[in-house]
Amino acid sequence: MLPMPAAEPFDSAEYAFEVAWQGIRALARVDRGQVRLWGRDLRDLTGRYPEVQALAAIAPAETIVDGELIVADSEGRPDSVALEKRQQAANPEAVARAVGAQPVTYVVYDLLYLAGRSLLKQPLVRRRPRLSEAIRSSARIYVVEAVAEDGLALFDAAQERGLEGIVAKRYDSPYRPGQRHPDWLAIEAVRRQDFAVIGFIPQAGDRLLEALIIATYDGRGYQPAGRVVGGFDAGTAKRLRKALDAFPTAPAPTDPRWVDDGICWVEPRIVVAIRYSEWDRSGQVRFPIFSGLRPEVSPQECVRAAMVEPRQTVGPRLVDIQLPRLPI
């Protein structure tokens, strides 16, 4: 289940509010003392993140949970740069080194099956307490602590801690596998979205990559949304350039704004996370910054979703609220 974007934070007695972790989405299944891990694209991630095997010692057999893999900084905040480095570890030797250098924490926030019994049709208000009863946080497994009603206060606290936003989840919502639904709402302090890469501008001076051309998918094709010139270091630029050079070429967009002989147009094969300030009236993002690769996301998932206007059911209140305990 995936969230839709909301225009602004709000208070409501109908929602539970959580930190937005901005990690790698993953489902985990405990069976016969072992944990199997899958990404959003159902790719098996088990061997790449052995830290999650700790879940087998604290969760009942035949249990499936939903959550995200993060690499935390010294204050427990998600570190997107460290997570990007960890994603590069693929073979057993590299993974073993990465476990020491960029250890992941599995943040668990939903319970889909418990001891073989499906909870998908049960509302969140029932799933959440059963999750807390069934699994306790440990060194590398963190069970999310939600905040009731006070979305505005949690959003302010998240901003103070330098986090990227919060997620609001309706208490009466069932779990809808693979669906993006307004029962879950993402409210971002820093705007961030996934985009397909449809082109690039190659080396300028001593740089291997001058810019990425990013796009959204509208159901018929890919619409260019901007040029990204910042956020990737030399190592990331080298990996991106190597991948892009291998992609089949594609025709340039018909939009005259994108007539540029310096752009190499390619078929959309990879997705990147981009931070940006806003969308302009012409459908381009302003001040885009590269924030990481998203190998678990399909290019056709990069849809520009309309903002949801949630209904506030309690008045704003000033509260002394603490962020949920973050993993270290």
Q: In sequence order, what are the residues at sequence separation of 6 or more whose Cβ sits closer than 8 angstroms to the Cβ of residue 16?
A: 124, 128, 146, 147, 148, 168, 169, 171
Q: In sequence order, what are the residues at sequence separation of 6 or more whose Cβ sits closer than 8 angstroms to the Cβ of residue 320?
A: none
Of 261 and 130, the one with more pLDDT:
130
Residue 232 is predicted with a pLDDT of: 86
Strands (E), the chain: 2-5, 12-19, 24-31, 34-39, 63-70, 105-114, 117-118, 141-143, 147-149, 165-170, 180-188, 192-204, 207-217, 222-228, 264-265, 271-275, 278-279, 285-286, 289-293
CA distance 206 to 251: 27
Tell me the whole-structure pTM to 2 decimals.
0.81
Residue 322 is predicted with a pLDDT of: 46
Concatenating the DSSP letter of every residue in 45-67 gives: -GGG-GGGGGGGGTS-TTEEEEE
Token pair of 279, please?
């969308």
250-273 as b/e: b if 16+ CB within 10 A? eebbeeeeeeeeebebbebebbbb
The predicted-structure confidence for 262-319, as pLDDT tens digits, reads as follows 899 999 999 999 999 888 888 899 999 999 899 889 999 999 877 787 777 776 555 4
Residues of the chain with CATH 3.30.470.30: 2-188
User: 321 falls in which pLDDT band (50, 70, 90)?
Assistant: very low
pLDDT of 323 above 90:
no
Residue 90 is predicted with a pLDDT of: 87
The predicted-structure confidence for 104-139, as pLDDT tens digits, reads as follows 999 999 999 999 999 999 999 999 999 999 999 988
The predicted-structure confidence for 244-256, as pLDDT tens digits, reads as follows 999 999 999 888 8
pLDDT of 192 above 90:
no
Q: Which residues pair with 38 in a beta bridge?
A: 27, 44
- Hey, is 324 helix, strand or coil? coil
Residues of the chain with CATH 2.40.50.140: 192-301
Among candidates 110, 142, 143, which has minimal Cα distance to 125? 110
């669906």: which residue's tokens? Answer: 179
**DSSP code of 98?**
H
Helix axes 92-101, 80-87, angle to 10 degrees: 160
pLDDT of 26 above 70:
yes
pLDDT of 327 above 70:
no
Q: Which residues pair with 65 in a beta bridge?
A: 28, 111
222-to-253, 255, 267 alpha-carbon distances in Å: 9, 12, 10
For CA atoms 238, 299, 120, 151, the dihedral sign is positive
The predicted-structure confidence for 147-184, as pLDDT tens digits, reads as follows 999 999 999 888 888 888 999 999 999 999 989 999 99
pLDDT of 22 above 90:
no
């078929």: which residue's tokens? Answer: 267
Superfamily of domain 192-301 in CATH is Nucleic acid-binding proteins (2.40.50.140)
Pick the CATH number of 2-188 from 3.30.70.20, 3.30.470.30, 3.60.20.10, 3.50.50.60: 3.30.470.30
Least confident among 67-71, 220-224, 280-284:
280-284
Of 8 and 120, the one with more pLDDT:
120
- Hey, is 77 helix, strand or coil? coil
CA distance 243 to 181: 33
Helices and strands, number each (H, E), in the chain: 5, 19
The predicted-structure confidence for 193-217, as pLDDT tens digits, reads as follows 999 999 999 876 556 889 999 999 9
